[in-house]
Structure 1
């Protein structure tokens, strides 16, 4: 992706199913769970680099001894930082003789992450404040193990305000700031209710006090708690929770917007945001890693019993399409295949853009995430060319004109060429991202291969998506233009991004989308600027309505123009200024229909169509347009 885009978080959870001594004997370390958690998080590092956190719950700990731990940071290199810090503490205890690794009980007794249940989180800050206190896991503390709650998730709840109002109406005093806090308090309230109901029943039956915690732990049903807590949530989520008694749960939103997978054998049950991470860390074939069914929660009780139940009614599935286009790791077999299909789906549009002149075209990609799609496009273009050659050979043969010279001309003279033209300077990109306002440096984020593209060539560069167009204009096109081609074609495997997201991806400012900017320019050029005010007034008028009664008024702006008209205007807006190159620029976006064919299961396409999977999406869109028209920056949720 050419535009730097913050997006969803990543979760990792490991629940050991054997005593720690088992892993010491089999794997030679009592830190098996700790090490696996690090690897599982490292393999999902792409999902969050604003912060990292981990938590632990130990089973069967005697009263008076700590059984829960948490470590978080938002400092640079957060993931390696928290693990190195804990390993350093571990080694100090080994050196002092407090811990003897060959005796796993000493590890469990003294190392705070030497427990059986480990939770990890990688954060991109899409809401709330950017500091350690807002880094997952969140914790709700109590002297009762069955009231202690630790929570981490990949989610955004769009109706956080409603959740907090519900807490206030119960008489609570919630601390505003993040939807995570609201969710934590919602689940915590119903956890308290369930705990207290069992406690009072046992007390009324004169059960001995020391026996009550065990009874509560046995009878507590996390799914029943989640059914009450999640009633009314609007958003996409994959949430993992640890209760102090050792009960563990992982839940996924009913429309499958956010991803969640798990692996289970007789040694461990593990959850992650990405399937391939589990495949790699546990060395498993794809069939052994399962997807958590949307609208269900998997529970591992403190005694090891595992069950999965539905906590909300079944709804139409709308898993996020951006997961497949860009966010998830491309070495997942299905994602790799789909990204190739997305590139291949651009065939007809690209062939038209280069006028079927492959001899005069060079195909390349914007590094690094578009590379797989590039291979798919090149494969499709070459297959297209083979069909042309085959038809020409058959025709020449029928006419008796087939000879060696003709074969050479048919096969060699119009064969598609693929080259690596653009290169990304990762270190410079990181430096610039930390130095806001350094626009003059942006053009050097990418470099090129010189001497490959000729002045009469058309350079086709594939990108996986174009959101704001800023990097395209300020960096990529300036760099590509140095090859001095007659024409540059930038082909996006994602359709035009027209609508904000509110389910985990940090792109809710409508006025920054290049497709929206282009549409506004077309409206003004048509002398129809009054329409912008009309839509604004309609948005304001419905802003106090319940989300499920709102209408997508912004769609009226886009409906005036064809995709090609908007794409042409986008090309005008991103054409770099003050450069020697004066060639032609064409921007090509994959159509929504072609995208759906390439990734049929992940059909959550609200970014492109405005068809939001939950009512809260329209509320966010409505606010986003109001913010745009009133010239206000900031998130719309």
Structure 2
């Protein structure tokens, strides 16, 4: 994705199923679980670089001994920082004789992250401050282990303001600014209620106080507690939580918007946002890794037993399609096939853009994450050309005109030519990321290959998606123009992004989308300001309705123009004034995207068809904010 776009977070969780001594005997280290947590997080490092956090809960700790631990870091290299510091602490304790690597009991007693329950979070923030205090996991402490709660997740709640108001109405004092605190306090409230009910019941039965913790821990119904907490949530989420007694849960939103996967072996129960990290880290087959069912919570009791419990009626499955297009790493076998299919689906549009002159076209990709789709595009172009050649050969043969010279001309002259044009300079990219507002340096993020594009060539570059168009205009097109082609064609494997997201992607401001800007420009050029005014009033009227009755009035913005008309205006808007070649931007069609993806495809940012009621409130609010000149996100609304 050429535009800088922050997005979904990543989660990882490891629940050991054996005593620590088992891992020392089998794998040579008591820290096997801790090492696996680090690897799961490292394999998902693409999902979050604003900060990281890890947590640990130890089972069956003696009274007076700490049992739950947390570390967080908001530095750019936070993942390495945390694990480097923890291993430094471990080695220091070994040198001082506080722990003996050959005695797992000494490690569990004295080293914080030698517990049976380990969780980790990689943060890409879409709300709150970008500091250590806003990194997950969040922790709610109590003298009762069964009331102590640690929570982390990959989520956005569209109705965070309303959820906070529920807390206020109860008499609580929530900390505003992040829906994570809201989720923690909501689950914590129901946990407290259940704990109090169990305590009073056992007390009235005459149970001795020293037996209370074990009895409460045994009877605590975590699935019910979490399910009750989630009844008022509107959003996309994968959430993991740990109670101080060692009970653990992982849940996924009823529509499956956010991803979550699970692996169960004789040694471990593990969770991750992506499937391949579980396969790689635990050397598992794809068939062993299962997606957590939407609307279900997986609970693992302190005794190791686990259940999978629905907490919501079945809903329309709407997994975020950006996982397929960009977010998840492309080495997942299914995602790899789907991204290639997305590239191949662009063939007819690309052929039209280059006027079928393959001998005067060069195909490449930018950025590196578009490489897999590029392979699909090249496969599709070659297949297209083979079919053309076959038809020409058969026709020449039928007319008695087939000659060796004609064969050479058909096969060799006009064949799709792929080249590596752009090379990313990682060090330069990091430097610029640390020094904001230096547009004059952005054009040096990539080096280019000189001498492979001729002056009469069209240069076709594949991109994952085009959101705001800013980087395209200020950087990418200027970089590609250094090769001096006659034309630049930029192909997006994603359709035009027309509507904001409210489920965890940093795409909340309608006015920043290049597709929206282009459509507004077309309206104003045609003298249709009155239409924009009317849509504004319609959006305001929608926001007066109960949230479940709202519809997306912003769709009216796009009804007057075809996709091609909007794409043509986008091409004009992103074309830099100081380059000497034509620019054309091509977008995937929604139909081809759906055909490329296996199973359901959540596409609300393209179609405006949101999977939850909160989405419709958010999109109408986003238009009102744009019209009124108000910046910032439009979700977290008071409904």
CA distance in 2, matches of 1:523, 1:395: 48
- Separation in 2 of the partners of 1:282 and 1:459? 43
SS at match of 1:450: coil
C-alpha displacement of 1:313: 1.1
Structure 2 equivalent of residue 630 of structure 1: 628
SS of 1:355's partner is coil
State which of 616, 619, 622 in structure 1 corresponds to 2:617.
619
* Structure 1 position 393, deviation (Å): 1.5
Corresponding residue number in structure 1 for 2:168: 168
Cα distance in structure 1, aligned partners of 2:176 and 2:388: 63
TM norm structure 2: 0.98
- Residue 480 of structure 2 corresponds to 480
Give the aligned partner of residue 236 of structure 2.
Answer: 236
Which region of structure 1 is more displaced relative to structure 2, 129-138 or 252-261?
A: 129-138
**Displacement of 1:602 after TM fit?**
4.3
Does the Cα contact within 8 Å between 1:515 and 1:570 map onto a contact in 2? yes
Structure 1 residue 102 and structure 2 residue 102: aligned?
Answer: yes
Shift of 1:341: 0.2
**Aligned partners of 1:84, 1:634: CA distance in 2, in Å?**
37
Separation of aligned partners in 1, 2:151 and 2:590: 36
TM-score normalised to the size of structure 1? Answer: 0.99
Output the CA distance in 2 between the equivalents of 1:376 and 1:541: 46
Question: Matched residue of 1:151: which SS?
Answer: strand
Aligned position for 1:593? 591
Runs of 4+ in 1 over 6 A off after TM superposition: none
Asked if 1 retains the 8 angstrom alpha-carbon contact of 2:59 and 2:245, the reply is yes
The DSSP-based 3-state class of the residue aligned with 1:459 is strand
**Residue of structure 2 in register with 1:314 after alignment:** 314
Mapped contact 2:57–2:246 kept (Cα < 8 A): yes
More divergent stretch after superposition (399-408 vs 535-544): 535-544
Q: In 1, distance between residues paired with 2:40 and 2:573?
A: 42
Structure 2 matches for 1:282-321, cutoff 5 A? 282-321=282-321
> In structure 2, how many angstroms separate the alpha carbons of the residues matched to 1:247 and 1:615?
32
Structure 2, unmatched stretches of 5+, are: none
Matches within 5 A, 1:385-424: 385-424=385-424
Residues 511-546 of structure 1, C-alpha deviations (whole Å, 9 max, x = no match): 110000000100000001122222222222333433
Q: 1:377 and 1:137 mapped to 2: Cα distance?
A: 41
Q: Is the CA contact 2:338–2:598 (under 8 Å) kept in the aligned structure 1?
A: no
- Does the CA-based 8 Å contact 1:259-1:274 persist in structure 2? yes
Preserved CA contact (<8 Å) 1:319 1:601: no
Alignment of 1:68-107 (within 5 A): 68-107=68-107
Match of 1:606 in 2: 604
Cα deviations by residue, 1:105-127 (Å, 9 ceiling, x for unpaired): 11100000010100000001111
Whole-Å Cα distance in 2 between the matches of residues 242 and 471 of structure 1? Answer: 41
What are the Cα deviations for residues 442-472 of structure 1, in whole angstroms up to 9, with x where unaligned? 2222221110000111111111100000110
Given that residues 320 and 602 in structure 1 are in contact (C-alpha distance below 8 angstroms), is that contact kept between their aligned partners in structure 2? no
**What is the CA-CA distance between 1:80 and the residue it aligns to?**
0.5
**1:128-155 deviation per Cα after TM superposition (whole angstroms, max 9, x unaligned):** 1211111100011111111010000000
Of stretches 535-544 and 144-153 in structure 1, the one that deviates more from structure 2 is 535-544
1:248 correspondence with 2:248: yes
Gaps of 5+ in 1: none
**What pairs with 1:270-281 in structure 2 (closer than 5 Å)?**
270-281=270-281
- Taking the aligned partners of 1:602 and 1:78, their CA distance within structure 2 comes to 35
By how many angstroms is 1:402 displaced? Answer: 1.9
Q: CA deviation at 1:622?
A: 1.7
Q: Which residue is equivalent to 1:263?
A: 263
For residues 463-512 of structure 1, give each alpha carbon's deviation from its aligned partner in whole angstroms, at most 9, with x where no partner exists. 11000001100111001111111111111100000000110101101111
Deviations 1:235-284 (A, max 9, x none): 00000000011101000000000000011111000000000010110011
Deviation at 1:386, TM superposition (A): 0.5
